[in-house]
């Protein structure tokens, strides 16, 4: 992917997180590059292509991250995940999954599939990490790991939504409670 394309994907990522997929246009991409609308269409023929680019970039980044964390104790892997969300909270972003889930019904089918894939990626990794953490006495919870992964995932996702409305204190409270529950 060319440098311009990558920078456009990065900008679109920001716009999706800050304003939502249906609340930005090619104009918002073109202007910061001092280009015309049509130049963006040259790189991404349809808006869905840009959206798919953003999701695939995020999925790759996630894959890189979990590979990097692989050797760490599960407790620390989880803290790294929370740290990713904390940074987004600080920047006023919500998570890509949350933003695109809200707009899900208005997305092109190819984009919906990518969103689905991203959700499965995260849940798959999280439930495995939780299961291993329990086996190694690093993490403590009852019930199935997949259920606990769903609880944690929804906590993190919506914590960014609520922080946007009620302030970053919300995220601090939720992430602290999350760790207190798993590491008593």
Partner DNA sequence: TTGCTTACTTACTAGTAAGTAAGTATTTTT
Partner DNA sequence: AAAAATACTTACTTACTAGTAAGTAAGCAA
Give the interface with DNA as residue ranges (CB under 7 A): 2, 4, 24-28, 34-39, 41-43, 45-48
Q: Which of residues 46-85 bind its own copies (CB under 8 A)?
A: none
Of the candidate residues 34, 38, 70, 143, the single one contacting its own copies (CB under 8 A): 143
Bin 44: left if φ > 0, else alpha if -120 < ψ < 50, else beta: beta
26 near 37, Cβ under 8 Å?
Answer: yes
What backbone torsions phi and psi does residue 73 show, to the nearest 5 degrees? -60, 145
Partner touching 98 among its own copies, DNA, none, CB below 5 to 8 Å by kind:
its own copies
Partner touching 135 among its own copies, DNA, none, CB below 5 to 8 Å by kind:
none
Nearest CA-CA partner of 103 in 34, 153, 94: 94
What backbone torsions phi and psi does residue 95 show, to the nearest 5 degrees? -80, 150
86 near 169, Cβ under 8 Å?
Answer: no
Partner touching 64 among DNA, its own copies, none, CB below 5 to 8 Å by kind:
none
Give the binding site for its own copies (CB under 8 A). Answer: 18-20, 22-23, 92, 94, 97-99, 101-106, 112, 115-116, 119-120, 123, 142-143, 146-148, 150-151, 153-155, 157-159, 161-162, 164-166, 170, 173-174, 176-178, 180
């Amino acid at each position: 992917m060319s440098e311009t394309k990558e920078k456009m994907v990065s900008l679109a990522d920001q716009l999706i997180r800050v304003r939502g997929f249906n609340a930005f246009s090619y104009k918002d991409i073109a202007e910061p590059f001092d280009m015309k609308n049509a130049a963006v269409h040259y790189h991404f023929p349809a808006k869905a292509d840009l959206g798919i680019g953003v999701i695939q970039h995020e999925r790759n980044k996630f894959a890189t991250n979990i590979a990097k964390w692989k050797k760490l104790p599960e407790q620390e892997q989880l803290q790294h995940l929370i740290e990713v969300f904390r940074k987004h909270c600080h920047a006023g972003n919500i998570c890509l999954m949350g933003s695109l889930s809200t707009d899900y019904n208005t997305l092109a089918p190819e984009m919906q599939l990518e969103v689905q894939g991203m959700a499965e990626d995260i849940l798959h990794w999280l439930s495995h990490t939780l299961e291993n953490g329990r086996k190694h006495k690093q993490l403590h919870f009852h019930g199935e790991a997949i259920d606990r992964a769903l609880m944690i995932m929804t906590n993190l996702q919506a914590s960014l939504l609520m922080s946007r409305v009620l302030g970053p204190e919300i995220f601090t409270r939720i992430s602290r409670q999350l760790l207190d529950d798993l590491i008593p």
